[in-house]
Amino acid sequence: MTTTTDSFQPSYGGGVTVAPTSTSASSTLGAGSLNIVVTNLSSTIPAYVRIGQESQTATTADYIVLPFTQISLSKGKYENTVAYVTASGTGSLHIIAGRGL
């Protein structure tokens, strides 16, 4: 059995840079795509993300994105919202939808 994985193909021009705080906020992007790449631009503040359809609220029990790391998450075709939060302080995330890992 052979398995192949396509490299990430971003939706150019569709990325956002956000400043998560200890209050959950969200961005709408990625409808129709199957992946989201999140880059934590902060050198000290971890962020937590949640992907879903329509309104979403992130908590510190969601997926952690450590400082200066990048993650790729699969998502449903109709999931169009990324919510983000920090435990404390203000962070910085870049989020872009696309296809592949």
CATH of the domain at 88: 2.60.120.220
Q: Is residue 1 part of a domain?
A: no
Type of residue at 96: I
Describe the strand order of the beta sheet including 25-28 as a list of residue ranges: 25-28, 81-85, 47-52, 63-65
Number of separate domains in the chain: 1
> Residue 71 domain-assigned?
yes
Q: What is the pLDDT of residues 2-27, one digit of tens each?
A: 666 789 999 999 999 999 999 999 99
90 occurs within a structural domain: yes
Separation CA 68–CA 65 (nearest Å): 8
| Residue 33: domain span | 9-99
Residue-wise pLDDT tens digits, 37-51: 999 999 999 999 999
Q: Give the other-Cβ count within 10 Å of 92's Cβ.
A: 16
19 located within any domain: yes
Per the domain annotation, does 3 fall within a domain?
no
- Assess if residue 4 is contained within a domain: no
42-91 pLDDT, tens per residue? 999 999 999 999 999 999 999 999 999 999 999 999 999 999 999 999 99
Which tokens belong to 101?
């890992």
First to last CA, the chain: 20
* Token duo for residue 93: 């995330």
